[in-house]
Amino acid sequence: MATALMTPPAPTPADSPARDWVARLRADGAEGQAAVADLHALLLKAARFEIGRRAVQDPSLRGGDREDLAQQAADDALMAVLAELDQFRGESRFTTWAYKFALLEAAVKVRRRTWQGREIPLEDEAWRALADAGASAGRGAEDAELFAALREEIERLGPRRREVLVAVALNGVPIDVLAERLGSTRGALYKNLHDARRALREALAERGFRVGSGEEER
């Protein structure tokens, strides 16, 4: 059974060119309902695959929990696909396009499940871990000066930017988990994170430190 979980959902006859997914999903009555049911079944397979893959690294995800998360992910992915149906351009197979929604929703559900009941780490904890890592790596005086400057500049950030930066960049809190806790959105928090990193780069550059360009941000 474990091997099956690691195998992506196989294409089905419903994905043949003879079937127009978009037209079927937009149809009224029994035809439209049947198309929605077919789509949900495909999304459920994708969600089970992704949750099964992630469960290998997270033994706390048990059978019942995994199936419950898969059902939730498939339900939410179905709503997302139907809402974005006009965006499908036929540049890939419909099921390939739809699977992405299920994989994303499954990943989000697992991250939220992992953080359920856990508190967002405090700033002091993050800095202590950072300092310990620096000490164990034998960093010199120049790096110690950079860390001190970085901490000063982070303290000068606005409260929300600082909160998001510390939670995501230092404490490893998933962005979707943080968005849920703060009653915000992923997009808003990504902007806070981007603006915070840009402000830090500029502030550190003004103080004479060589810093990266941040081209990895997306």
Could you report the per-residue pLDDT of 138-163, keeping only the tens digit for each? 455 667 787 788 888 888 888 888 88
- pLDDT on residue 2: 45
**Residue 123 and residue 181 in contact, taking contact as beta carbons nearer than 8 Å:** no
Collect all residues with Cβ–Cβ distance below 8 Å to 103 and sequence separation of at least 6.
46, 47, 49, 50
Query: What distances in angstroms separate CA 218 from CA 94, 190, 191, 194, one per listed residue?
Result: 26, 9, 10, 9
Report the candidate in 94, 1, 100, 4 with the shortest Cα–Cα distance to residue 46. Answer: 100
Q: Which residues of the chain have pLDDT under 50?
A: 1-5, 11, 13-18, 122, 136, 138, 214-218
- pLDDT on residue 121: 58
- pLDDT on residue 173: 81
- pLDDT on residue 210: 72
Phi and psi, residue 85, nearest 5°:
-55, -35
**Where are the chain's structural domains?**
2-115, 123-206
Pick the CATH number of 123-206 from 1.10.10.10, 1.10.3720.10, 1.20.1250.20, 1.50.10.20: 1.10.10.10
Distance CA(23)–CA(34), nearest Å, equals: 12
- pLDDT on residue 204: 87
Phi and psi, residue 48, nearest 5°:
-60, -40
- pLDDT on residue 130: 58
CATH topology of domain 2-115: Rna Polymerase Sigma Factor; Chain: A (1.10.1740)
- pLDDT on residue 216: 41
